[in-house]
Chains A and B, each alone.
Chain A
Amino acid sequence: MATSALDHAPAHAHEKSGLWSWITTVDHKRIGILYGASAFIFFLLGGLEALLIRVQLANPEQHVVSPETYNQLFTMHGTTMIFLGVMPLSAMFFNYLIPIMIGARDVAFPRLNAMSYWVFLAGGLLLNASWLVHAAPDQGWFGYANLTERQYSPGPNVDFWIVGLQVLGIASLAAAVNFFVTIINLRTKGMRLMRMPMFVWMSLVTQVLLLLAFPVITVALVMLMMDRNFGTHFFIPAGGGDPILWQHLFWVFGHPEVYILILPAFGIVSEILPVFSRKPLFGYAAMVFSGCFIAFLGFGVWSHHMFSTGMGPFADTFFSLMTMLIAIPTGVKIFNWIGTIWGGRLEFKTPMLFALGFIAMFIIGGLSGVMHSSPPADLQQTDTYFVVAHFHYVLFGGSIFALTAGAYYWFPKMSGRMLDEGLGKVHFWLMMLGFNLTFFPMHFLGLNGMPRRVYTYPADLNFGFWNMMETVGAFVLMVSLLVFIYNLLRSVRHGVVAPADPWGGATLEWAIPSPPQEWNFAEIPEVSGRDPLWEWERARGGKLPEPQRVSGKGIHLPNPSYWPIVTAIGILVFFTGFIVGFPYVNIAGVLVTFIGIYSWAFEPA
């Protein structure tokens, strides 16, 4: 078996190799892989933090870690999973797939794309560098003022968090502009908006959310930084400021952020379900519009995170009804997914298992969401483990299940080899078991009085049993991830060689070799419908021939460049200056950034 796999080892897609070629690459596929690999490592780090949290909470009155460390762990777990885990894992799929799915050879701004990645990596490293100086952020991922003000958080912990998020924000905004322009401008002939794959549609909506939501958090973080460093008092009541202002600004960003995390997952699942049901997506137009509607409403519900602040009955009513309204387009999506598999011929390959698991788990997360859309009920539920259960069903049961489905689905395209199906199924069932064992009991704990973000709890509140079960569940999850890692490492070298179209896919990425050549398409395709490959197969009356690898002579591709990474280093140095409090560092950062951008602008394409 191994020998035959080696005999058929795929011709290497990238003629260039070596570290330098990765540092200077502007190829969207390689950048996608860089995003994926880095984000997966950060994701494992966030998982490790979660395991430590679970160990500390396994029994009442434990002191495995100090309260201070515990607060750092949950802050970094949340921040890492959101900004360094789920978002860049989605970015891996944006990078790798969007250009191919719309029939393009690269993104609109390849070097900006490289810069986004390097800035993201810089932000992730900067944030985690805080561990090395024992000053990891410890104020929660929501960073509520006035706890984050200098008076109550004198150390550099909050500074690491502020500048880390600012750096990551630059990466997200640059990438959002890039993908927005790419999707609008680089679609191939015949690829009308209403013919785009659903993943591209949901990605487009996500970019719009990023463009509108990130400036808000950027401004809020600048205000907080000014409060801490330059004597302003935006959020300091003694100086006439208002800590509630922070909450509004944070959640005007924070709620759309939830949809930034989940809409790409919706897109991934909408690609996978039709392929393994052998039938097109049910209600395409409704899926597009419900996605847009969710994004639009997502900007009008932020205060449902603040029902316990006492906003008064009219504000409570407005934000409550708006929140309930979001359940309607979300429900439409779930029903259309079920409509897609209804009457199909379902093949339970690993990607399909994860996609179906996504629907089953996301329903639970959605329903508990409706439960705390009611402000009176939320007065009991907010800041308890009930909410922790809710958003893990949305972000883990939702986003992570879908991203894993996507990983199994597109791994053959990216690597040229299949992931092992048997290990994939073990991974799925272990993850399903571990996930539910970890997070389902949190519903009971929350309703029965266990608040969030507490480093321990008294024995007489009887929270011990379920906390222990959850910790066991977390270790089952860890084992499932080890199975996945083993599968990845083994398959990337020894997996069965993948054909161009291993699943019978409908979208353009399956029309080109696995892995694709640097230029994606030797000839730019033209499409006339939503499922081009299926249409071509129908027209031909059978499977399409395996695409041949060709020499890319005459195809113009952007040159590699090291100026994006130089620019990213400049940005990193500039922001580090705010932590070390030494203005020359900031000035040096500006200079390097300026040199980077200047040289990049005058470099021949």
Chain B
Amino acid sequence: MSLRLALRRQARVWAPAMFLVVLALAGCARDYPQTTLAPKGDFGRIVDHVFMTTFWWATAVFVLVEGALLYAIVKFRARPGAPEPEQTHGNTTVEIIWTIIPAAILAMIAVPTVKAIFQTAKEPGPEALQVEVIGHQWWWEFRYPALNIVTADELHVPVGQTVNLRMTTVDVIHSFWLPTFAGKRDVFPKRFNNIWFKADTTGVFSGQCAEFCGVEHGRMAFRVVSETPEEFQAWSTRQQMGSPLIGGGMVPDTTVATALAAATGDSLAQVDSILARGKAAFMSGGCIGCHAMVGTPMAGQTALIGPNLSHVGSRHTIAAGTLPMSDENLARWLHNPDAVKPGVLMKLPRPLTDDEVTALVAYLRLHQ
């Protein structure tokens, strides 16, 4: 057979393999904000180390075994006039060898695996920041018991401090997935699960629910904001104002207005007018039935069906990562939540008027 023909046959065999390699290279080249491959916390690094160990062993085995298969396919293809092959039935020595080698490779994976299992199962010490994570269809609630904070869809953490998440759900099973810092852990009703991590980079990172939990499972994301201890301190001080865990959420109206005016730089009169119109719409539009909100009679509630909105204006997204926070998006959402997130449990008792939506957008955005 001519060399060229042989090469062409080789190419036919190798083409799919090369195709896969090219795909693999291209796959790593893009920038993925929710990737698991660039951990930015200690838990995530332990996981990544185990994964990379198995990945390289698997790659080696892949190359060797697929290589042997392709070699056999090319080498032993039928040639015209070739004799009947030797009728071998097996070879005990060879078979023992290729039982032992995989066992040895698996041991190389098993040892770091077991080590990592016990490392990640360690309970963090008392210096860790405790956060309670509560899954809801289809949003996440975060509570900081020591800081008396209740918030939703956005988890703020200080870099350099271990955070221990104590997690449960009020309805069905969800899974809290934090690709950048840790991994995922399922949450069960009437049961607490935990996972911990220590962020080592500041920034805003996304995560989302990973266990199918009903019609809007795909829209149950959250953000993790990891910030310097000073920024975290400032954030928690703001969040404490009107928190249901402090004095039943009751704050004198003047305090709210003064604080918001100071935070936004608007005049007190402007702030007062936004608050008055917004609060009226909040009450008459029915929002109050499901949402705790600073400055309203329901400010102290912690068992309502919707997320606490006391500082909703400071969050990056609307409706658990469904839309980026902006006036237009908020208005879109308030006009018809079901059009943005079909099946969402937020049911407006009646459609809001344009004026009400405008008032509510200004009101909600004001609450940083």
State A375–B185 Cα separation when bound (angstroms).
Answer: 11
Question: Which residues of A sit under 8 angstroms from B188, Cβ to Cβ?
Answer: 237, 243-244, 309
Q: Is the CB of B27 within 8 A of A341?
A: no
Asked if B86 and A343 make an inter-chain contact with CB atoms under 8 angstroms apart, the answer reads: yes
A480 lies within 8 A of chain B by Cβ:
no
Interchain CB contact under 8 A, A147 and B214: yes
* Residues on A with beta carbons closer than 8 Å to the beta carbon of B66: 360, 363
Residue of B nearest to A456 (CB): B218
Question: What's the Cα separation between A310 and B188 when bound, in Å?
Answer: 10
With A313-B121, A317-B117, A344-B76 as contacts: A283 and B99 at CB distance below 8 Å: no
Could you tell me the distance between the alpha carbons of A453 and B188 in the complex, rounded to whole angstroms?
19
Of the listed stretches A175-183, A192-200, A330-338, chain B binds A330-338
- What is the distance, in angstroms, from A280's C-beta to the closest C-beta of chain B? 5
Q: Which of A68, A144, A348, A373 contacts B77 (CB 8 A)?
A: A348
Cβ–Cβ contact B172 & A313, under 8 A = no
Residue-by-residue, is B338-353 near A (CB-CB < 8 Å gives 1, otherwise 0)? 0000110000000000
Residue A582, interface by CB 8 Å: no
Inter-chain CA distance A384–B78, complex, in Å, is: 43
Give the contact stretch, choosing among B101-109, B267-275, B276-284, B327-335.
Answer: B101-109
Q: Chain A residues near B55: list those with CB within 8 A.
A: 371
Enumerate 23 A-B pairs (CB-CB under 8 Å) in ascending A order: A243-B173, A243-B189, A277-B76, A282-B88, A282-B90, A283-B95, A286-B95, A328-B106, A331-B98, A331-B102, A338-B65, A341-B76, A345-B78, A360-B69, A367-B62, A374-B113, A379-B120, A436-B23, A444-B28, A447-B36, A448-B30, A449-B36, A453-B217
Q: Which residue of A lies closest to B182 (CB)?
A: A379
* A278 at interface by CB-CB < 8 Å: yes
Stretch of A97-105, A217-225, A294-302, A319-327 lying at the B interface: A319-327
A448 touches B84 (CB 8 A): no
Interfacial chain B residues near A71, Cβ < 8 Å: 212, 215, 217
Within 8 A of A (CB), among B194-212: 194, 206, 208-212
A286-B95, A448-B34 given; name 5 further pairs at CB < 8 Å.
A244-B188, A279-B88, A360-B69, A371-B54, A379-B185
Whether, in the assembled complex, A262 has its beta carbon less than 8 Å from a beta carbon of chain B, the answer is no
Chain A nearest CB, measured from B364 CB (Å): 21
Tell me if B82 is interfacial: C-beta within 8 Å of chain A.
Answer: yes
Pairwise interchain contact B175-A338, C-beta atoms closer than 8 A: no
Q: A346-B77, A356-B69 are in contact. Are A462 and B32 (CB under 8 A)?
A: yes
Chain A positions within 8 Å of B221 at CB level: 458
Q: Which 9 A-B pairs rank lowest in CB-CB distance, beginning with the nearest?
A: A449-B34, A379-B183, A444-B27, A454-B218, A448-B32, A313-B121, A283-B90, A376-B116, A383-B210
Q: Does B171 contact A (CB under 8 A)?
A: yes
Most buried by A among B190, B212, B214: B212
Q: Are A67 and B84 in contact (CB under 8 A)?
A: no
Chain A CB within 8 A of B179 CB: yes
Q: For A440, give the chain B residue with the smallest CB separation.
A: B23
Complex Cα–Cα for A568 and B292 (A): 56
Q: Is B263 an interface residue (CB 8 A)?
A: no
| Interchain nearest-CB distance for A215 vs B (Å) | 25
How close is A344's CB to chain B, nearest CB, in angstroms? 5
Residues of A contacting B58 with CB < 8 Å? 367-368, 370-371
Min distance, Cβ A506 to any Cβ of chain B, angstroms: 11
Binds A, one of B43-51, B146-154, B229-237: B43-51
A461 at the B interface (CB under 8 A): yes
Determine if B186 and A282 form an interchain contact, defined as CB atoms under 8 angstroms apart.
no
Say yes or no: A374 contacts B20, CB within 8 Å: no
B179 near A449: Cβ-Cβ < 8 Å:
yes
In the complex, whether B2 has a CB less than 8 A from a CB of chain A is: no
Alpha-carbon distance A334/B98, docked complex (angstroms): 10
The residues of B that contact A440 with a CB separation of less than 8 Å are 20, 23-24
Q: Mark A459-473, 1 if CB is under 8 A from B, else 0.
A: 011110110000000
Query: Is A503 part of the binding interface, using a Cβ–Cβ cutoff of 8 Å?
Result: no
Residues of B within 8 A of A360 (CB): 16, 66, 69
In angstroms, how far is the closest chain A Cβ from the Cβ of B8? 14
- The winner among B55, B88, B194 for most chain A CB atoms within 10 A is B88
* Chain B neighbourhood of A138, CB < 8 A: 215
CB closest chain-A residue, reference B52: A377
Nearest Cβ on chain A to B143's Cβ, whole angstroms: 19
The answer, yes or no, to whether B252 is at the interface (CB within 8 Å) is no
- Any A CB within 8 A of the CB of B363: no
Judged by a CB distance under 8 angstroms, whether A130 is at the interface is no
Instruction: Please tell me if the beta carbons of B213 and A147 are within 8 angstroms of each other in the complex.
Output: yes
Complex contact B172–A152 (CB within 8 A): yes
- A117 contacts partner chain B, Cβ-Cβ < 8 Å: no
Which A residues are within 8 Å of any B CB, using their own CB? Answer: 66-68, 70-71, 138-140, 144, 146-147, 152, 237-238, 243-244, 277-286, 308-310, 312-313, 316-317, 320-321, 324-325, 327-328, 331-332, 334-336, 338-339, 341-348, 356, 359-360, 363-364, 367-368, 370-371, 373-377, 379-384, 432-433, 436, 440-441, 443-444, 447-458, 460-463, 465-466
Task: Report the bound CA distance from A434 to B153 in whole Å.
Answer: 39
Are the C-beta atoms of B33 and A284 separated by less than 8 Å?
A: no
Q: How far is the CB of B207 from chain A (nearest CB, A)?
A: 8
B30/A320 in contact, CB under 8 A: no
Whether B94 sits at the interface, judged by CB under 8 Å, is yes
Query: In the complex, A458→B317 CA distance in Å?
Result: 12
CA distance A347 to B80 in the complex (A): 11
Number of interface residues of B (CB under 8 A): 93
Decide: A152 and B214 in contact? CB cutoff 8 A: yes
B158 contacts A by Cβ under 8 Å: no
A278-B84, A374-B113 given; A359·B118 CB < 8 A: no
Cα(A363)–Cα(B182), bound, Å: 29
Give the Cβ gap from A210 to chain B, nearest Cβ, in Å.
27
CB atoms of B23 and A441 under 8 A apart: yes
Contact B210 A328 (CB under 8 A): no
A456 to B46, CA, bound (A): 30
Task: Decide: A328 and B37 in contact? CB cutoff 8 A.
Answer: no
Among the listed A70, A243, A345, A460, which residue makes an inter-chain contact with B76, where contact means beta carbons less than 8 Å apart?
A: A345
CB nearest neighbor in A for B34 = A449
| Nearest CB of chain B from residue A394's CB, rounded to whole Å | 15
Cross-chain contact A324 with B34 (CB below 8 angstroms): no
Please, which residues of chain B bring their CB within 8 A of the CB of A325? 106
Q: Are B185 and A310 in contact (CB under 8 A)?
A: yes
Chain B proximity of A374: nearest CB distance (Å): 4
Provide the residues of chain A in CB contact with B90, threshold 8 Å: 282-286, 336, 339
- B30→A374 contact, CB < 8 A: no
Most chain B beta carbons < 10 A, residue from A138, A441, A444, A450: A444
Q: Which residues of chain B are within 8 angstroms of A377 by Cβ–Cβ distance?
A: 47, 50-51, 54, 113
Nearest-neighbour CB distance to chain A for B29, whole angstroms, equals 10
Specify which chain B residues have a CB less than 8 angstroms from the CB of A454 in the assembled complex. 208, 217-218
Most buried by A among B68, B94, B121: B121
Is B1 on the interface with A (CB-CB < 8 A)?
A: no
Given contacts A68-B342, A243-B173, A443-B27, contact A461 B76 (CB under 8 A): no
Q: How far is the CA of A182 from the CA of B274 in the complex (A)?
A: 81
Cβ contact within 8 Å between B106 and A67: no
With A376-B120, A382-B210 in contact, is A320–B110 under 8 Å at CB? yes
A146 touches B98 (CB 8 A): no
Establish whether residues B73 and A328, one from each chain, have CB atoms under 8 Å apart when the complex forms: no
A346 to B35, alpha carbons, bound, how many Å?
44
Given contacts A146-B189, A237-B190, contact A284 B89 (CB under 8 A): yes
CA A462 to CA B33, docked complex, whole Å: 8
Determine the distance from Cα of A489 to Cα of B214 in the docked complex, in whole angstroms.
42
Q: Are B27 and A310 in contact (CB under 8 A)?
A: no
Task: Given A279-B85, A279-B86, A338-B68, check contact A447 B37 (CB 8 Å).
Answer: yes
How many angstroms between the C-alpha atoms of A144 and B186 in the bound complex?
Answer: 12
The reply to whether A144 and B73 form a contact with Cβ atoms under 8 Å apart is no
The smallest C-beta distance from B340 to any residue of chain A, in angstroms, reads: 11
Q: How far is the CA of A282 from the CA of B89 in the complex (A)?
A: 5
CA distance A324 to B344 in the complex (A): 42
Closest chain A residue to B90, Cβ basis: A283
Q: Please state if A370 and B106 are interface contacts (CB–CB under 8 Å).
A: yes
The CA-CA distance from A334 to B102 in the complex, in Å, is 12
